[in-house]
Amino acid sequence: MIGALCPWCLTITGTTTLVFFSITRVNILDGNLRFGTATAGVQTLVRSWVDVYLMVIILAVFAAMVVVRYLQLVKTGYSASRSRESRTA
């Protein structure tokens, strides 16, 4: 573990989550994903935006994990230069 929060990785994680939920939503509403006898119920849930609420919760959990990690790093006084120094010593 490098002990860093890579902005690129965080951006990719967030956008991939958005794309996954968007494409899944469209496929469910268009009838491309079938769930047997539960298909109508799943489509009703998607039409009532339950999937969007779930996506917001997942993104909020991601954000909370980043904040917690950042606060841990601030609390311990971690810096990238210290990490590099300890590896070279």
Look at residue 84 in the predicted model and tell me its pLDDT: 52
Look at residue 10 in the predicted model and tell me its pLDDT: 84
Average pLDDT for runs of 10 along the chain of length 89: 72 92 95 92 94 93 88 75 54
Look at residue 27 in the predicted model and tell me its pLDDT: 95
3-state secondary structure the chain: CCCCCCHHHHHHHHHHHHHHHHHHHHHHHHCCCCCHHHHHHHHHHHHCCHHHHHHHHHHHHHHHHHHHHHHHHHHHCCCHHHHHHHHHC
For 15, 20, 27, 81, the CA distances from 63, given in Å and listed in that order, are 13, 18, 27, 25
* Cut 0.85: pTM above it: no
Look at residue 79 in the predicted model and tell me its pLDDT: 62
Look at residue 28 in the predicted model and tell me its pLDDT: 94
